[in-house]
Structure 1
Amino acid sequence: MLNESIPFDPSQDLAALAASGALGGNVALFAQPRGADLMRRAAPLEQWCALRMRHGVWPYARTLEGPPEPLATVAGDGLPAARGINFASQDYLSLSSHPAVHEAALQALGECGPHSAGSAVLLGNTRHSGALERAVGELLHCAQVVLFPTGWGAAFGAITALVHAGDHIVIDQLAHASLRQGALAATRNVSVHRHLDCDHVRELLAGIRAVDRAGAIMVVTEGLFSMDADSPDLPLLQHLCREYGATLLVDVAHDLGAIGPGGAGVVGVQGMLGKIDIVLGAFSKTFASNGGFVACAQPSVRRQLQMFAGPHMFSNALSPIQAATVLASLRIATSAEGEGLRADLLRNAVELRALLADEGVRCIGGPSPIVPVWTGTEAATRIAGMLLSREQVFVNPVEFPGVPLGAGRLRLQLMAQHSPAQIRRAAQLVAAAVGRARTAPRPAPRPAPFHPAPESGRG
């Protein structure tokens, strides 16, 4: 059973919250603090975060007490630990609690111990990681696979290893931070295209080739955008890359395993298995462990990644436990059981979206494991997240830098094992929270930031 909601008077609480200053400001204001003392100039940010935490609108760095299941115990956000409906964890097929996955992890622990004890280049591989590479390659119809300790590392490492300073990158404006930061680290020649706009991609590619016939071009996109739950036209993007001599890279972190025939994700849905130049992804959304991969057809590209992708070359490899966990999860995801889990997941997504639409709540994108609920302002996002936390419904309120300023939302992440009753209850409470947030008192201006005085003798 869920804990009883913490009693409070919404009108009084929201009025006090609006007056407190905790709903004002945004992280962008603190992104580049000034001052000679690196250790002290972050003080205004800490004060602002502490203010939000005191008023229950700092929903980050919370603690999950137990496994990431549909019913979970969460502590933090200025509230005591409470058990409630969990839409904040990423475990799309509910494989983190699957007995076969647990058994595989325990067997790997007994056989190999807990540690890879080296990078993949320096004796960090195990038979589990080798089997995982082959399984990922089979799923994606790609002969060459390189594993990374994180999905972030796979994205950043792939771009920085393959793209040089004189090359070009054309990237979707809503691409993940790992992709954008990788692009900026690799070259100054980065062109950002409007979200999912293939005509704009064509225009940018034509412009680049008009002045540079020799430089390489990488086009970067995602299979399923994690904040918008939408997908690009992969056949058209790959065609454009062929036309202009570019290379297409697709990040399938949020869709591989969770949707598509056999768990092949958006690449499989759009009939592009084995046809995309480079596919990369993360294991942490569907496959019950940290880790990532890059897959392609050419052995030479694999070698380039092994030697020049920093997160692969200079980070310890996946532990044998992680590799065995992902491998067991992948085998389930691609089986008949996995098809059933995907059907349950899709049913939950369609049902939740329909219930929210009936309440007048705007959901972004289409049915997928991610249900983004539009809130708009940072203040409304914080209020809605706080109200849901009080009702023991745990979601991820997202504001800048996760999304653009003024484009806040609640990101609900579904699991195959969420029950119909949990979906119905969550829809009611989400609709109520978003409605209250829309009509809440206007927030007061953020208090003037504290600027630390220089220490004696330090200028």
Structure 2
Amino acid sequence: MLNEPIPFDPSHDLDALAASGALGGNVALFKQPRGQDLLRRSAPLEEWCALRVRNGVWPYGRTLDGPPAPLATVEGDGLAAAQGINFASQDYLSLASHPAVIDAAMRALAECGPHSAGSAVLLGNSRHSNALERALGELLRCQQVVLFPTGWGAAFGAVTALVHGADHVLIDQLAHASLRQGAAAATRNVAAYRHLDCDHVRELLAGIRAIDGSGAILVITEGLFSMDADSPDLPLLQYLCREYGATLLVDVAHDLGAMGPGGTGAIGAQGMLGKIDIVMGAFSKTFASNGGFVACSQRSARRQLQLFAGPHMFSNALSPVQAATVLECLRIATGSEGERLRADLMRNAVELRALLLEEGMHCIGAPSPIVPLWTGSEAATRIAGMLLARAQVFVNPMEFPGVPLGAARLRLQLMARHSPAQVRQGARLLASAVRRASTAPRAVPRPAGQG
């Protein structure tokens, strides 16, 4: 167990916090510990984490009591359970508490029980998962759909099943870790291209084709980048892939259902439905369940995914309850109610960004369910997160490895059911915390055990 945190008085001078060393260091310093004992050589990492816990700047492993609602009860950050404004959960259309979604889950539970009891390659499928595959195929105009028990598994499985050692991968430098790790596991021929830079993609494609005229190339991007709230030029990327004989994979984990006409995300918004080579996504952001999928138009590729994507073949399939939950969320998201919920969600995003701008804050990206509030400094992010938790505003302070070193931020995640009053109050408290954190002492001693 990590040590108990020191009670923190918000009126206290932050010099003491800086002097503790809890604002110094980063996870990168502990990534590759040395020594023969695999279990004990991480002791310096534990000491550093415990130091942050004792000083109230360890915002991870919190506990949510009840559904992920806009007003939620959270325990952690060294505090007792408290109710506050929740900008930390991923439930973009507020469907996790929707009566129809809960009813669908309960009916599936009564009908099929709680467990798939097998891999999808064996006997893990249900009529709910089959219906979900068909519905996703119709929405995306990619009829060959493979389901996965997690979104991470869908990303990793898609890359490792389709790419082998002689192939090439070009991946946006800010793509999800699951995609980057999948690429690294599949081939050594991996190149990261500058974020959203199609000219760099063209340059890299031309360079590969100059030396390898027949090998496969997979280009990877996302519909909405989860830390930067921006989107690529999908028509241009797909055109470049056609020009150079490459294949495009678009991860729509954060935009499908929550954005675009009829919930079709960035692909639908850019007129690319049925035109993207491979679409993959996760259900955990908008569709109130764990799980993920990969969709394409080629039946042969579906077979390749079924038999060679480890997270699909060697994991138990989505449970009937999960599949029924996602299917009902999909029905709502693609209907008239979904349009109203997306309008509410976008209203909240635009309003929060405008209020923070008025307060002199810097939000990166464009209006979406994700509002990244820039801090830059890891120390400032830790202080702001601590102050907000004590003001009963729950956010996700993001630092390495979630974002590059020196690019820390607060990631705010909005829901359709956040009220205007919650957005206004949240903006005021967010700005106050970031301002105070930005003027806090920065000279911090180096924590013990960092090499």
Asked if these proteins are the same fold (TM beyond 0.5), I'd say yes
Structure 2: tracts of 5 or more residues without a match: 1-6
- Note if 1:381 corresponds to 2:376: no
Q: 1:100 to 1:154 in 2, by over 3 A?
A: same
Q: CA deviation at 1:443?
A: 3.8
Other-structure match for 2:120? 120
What does residue range 54-453 of structure 1 map to in structure 2 within 5 Å?
Answer: 54-449=54-449
Q: CA-to-partner distance for each residue in 1:295-353, whole Å, 9 max, x for gaps? A: 00010000000000000000000000000000000000000000000000000000000
Matched-pair contact (CA < 8 Å) for 2:263–2:338: yes
Letter in 2 for 1:16: A
| d(CA) in 2 for partners of 1:237, 1:251 | 13
Q: CA-to-partner distance for each residue in 1:101-160, whole Å, 9 max, x for gaps? A: 000000000000000000000100000000000011111011110000000000000000
Letter in 2 for 1:28: A
What do you get for the CA RMSD once the two structures are aligned?
Answer: 1.0
Matched-pair contact (CA < 8 Å) for 1:291–1:318: yes
Letter in 1 for 2:11: P
| d(CA) in 2 for partners of 1:77, 1:272 | 43
TM-score, length-scaled by structure 1: 0.96
| d(CA) in 2 for partners of 1:24, 1:171 | 31
Q: CA deviation at 1:450?
A: 7.9
Letter in 2 for 1:29: L
Matched-pair contact (CA < 8 Å) for 2:393–2:426: yes
Other-structure match for 2:31? 31
| d(CA) in 1 for partners of 2:444, 2:298 | 57
Other-structure match for 2:9? 8
| d(CA) in 1 for partners of 2:231, 2:445 | 38
| d(CA) in 2 for partners of 1:284, 1:391 | 27
Structure 1: tracts of 5 or more residues without a match: 1-5, 452-459
Q: CA deviation at 1:8?
A: 2.7
| d(CA) in 2 for partners of 1:228, 1:441 | 27
| d(CA) in 2 for partners of 1:262, 1:119 | 32
TM-score, length-scaled by structure 2: 0.98
Q: CA-to-partner distance for each residue in 1:32-84, whole Å, 9 max, x for gaps? A: 00000011001111110011011111000100011100000111111111110
Q: How many residues align?
A: 445
| d(CA) in 2 for partners of 1:252, 1:150 | 14
Q: CA deviation at 1:9?
A: 4.1
Matched-pair contact (CA < 8 Å) for 1:379–1:443: no
Q: Secondary structure at the match of 1:44?
A: helix
| d(CA) in 1 for partners of 2:54, 2:29 | 20
Matched-pair contact (CA < 8 Å) for 2:44–2:448: no
| d(CA) in 2 for partners of 1:110, 1:265 | 33
Name which of structure 1's ranges 437-446 and 21-30 shifts more when overlaid on structure 2.
437-446
Q: Secondary structure at the match of 2:72?
A: strand
Name which of structure 1's ranges 280-289 and 433-442 shifts more when overlaid on structure 2.
433-442
Matched-pair contact (CA < 8 Å) for 1:373–1:409: yes
Q: CA deviation at 1:447?
A: 2.6
Letter in 2 for 1:178: S
Matched-pair contact (CA < 8 Å) for 2:371–2:412: yes
Q: CA deviation at 1:10?
A: 3.3
Matched-pair contact (CA < 8 Å) for 2:48–2:448: no
Q: 1:217 to 1:80 in 2, by over 3 A?
A: same
| d(CA) in 2 for partners of 1:441, 1:242 | 53
Letter in 2 for 1:342: R
Letter in 1 for 2:87: F
| d(CA) in 2 for partners of 1:266, 1:375 | 27
Q: CA-to-partner distance for each residue in 1:385-408, whole Å, 9 max, x for gaps? A: 111001000000000000000000
| d(CA) in 1 for partners of 2:72, 2:407 | 28
Q: Secondary structure at the match of 2:259?
A: coil
Q: CA deviation at 1:285?
A: 0.1
| d(CA) in 2 for partners of 1:80, 1:386 | 14
| d(CA) in 2 for partners of 1:44, 1:8 | 28
Matched-pair contact (CA < 8 Å) for 2:73–2:84: yes
| d(CA) in 1 for partners of 2:447, 2:389 | 25
**Runs of 4+ off more than 4 Å:** none
Other-structure match for 1:43? 43
Q: CA-to-partner distance for each residue in 1:333-388, whole Å, 9 max, x for gaps? A: 00000000000000000000000000110001000000000000100110111110
Matched-pair contact (CA < 8 Å) for 1:21–1:443: no
Matched-pair contact (CA < 8 Å) for 1:74–1:83: yes
Letter in 1 for 2:244: Y
Q: Secondary structure at the match of 1:97?
A: coil
Q: CA-to-partner distance for each residue in 1:409-440, whole Å, 9 max, x for gaps? A: 00000000000000000000110111011100
Q: Secondary structure at the match of 1:96?
A: coil
Q: CA deviation at 1:7?
A: 8.3
Matched-pair contact (CA < 8 Å) for 2:171–2:191: yes
Q: Secondary structure at the match of 1:315?
A: coil
| d(CA) in 2 for partners of 1:443, 1:354 | 33
Q: Secondary structure at the match of 1:67?
A: coil
| d(CA) in 2 for partners of 1:156, 1:442 | 38
Q: CA-to-partner distance for each residue in 1:178-223, whole Å, 9 max, x for gaps? A: 0000000000000110000000000000000000011100000000
| d(CA) in 2 for partners of 1:9, 1:320 | 47
| d(CA) in 2 for partners of 1:323, 1:361 | 40
Name which of structure 1's ranges 440-449 and 121-130 shifts more when overlaid on structure 2.
440-449
Q: Secondary structure at the match of 1:311?
A: helix
| d(CA) in 2 for partners of 1:46, 1:385 | 21
| d(CA) in 2 for partners of 1:8, 1:383 | 13
Q: Secondary structure at the match of 2:96?
A: helix
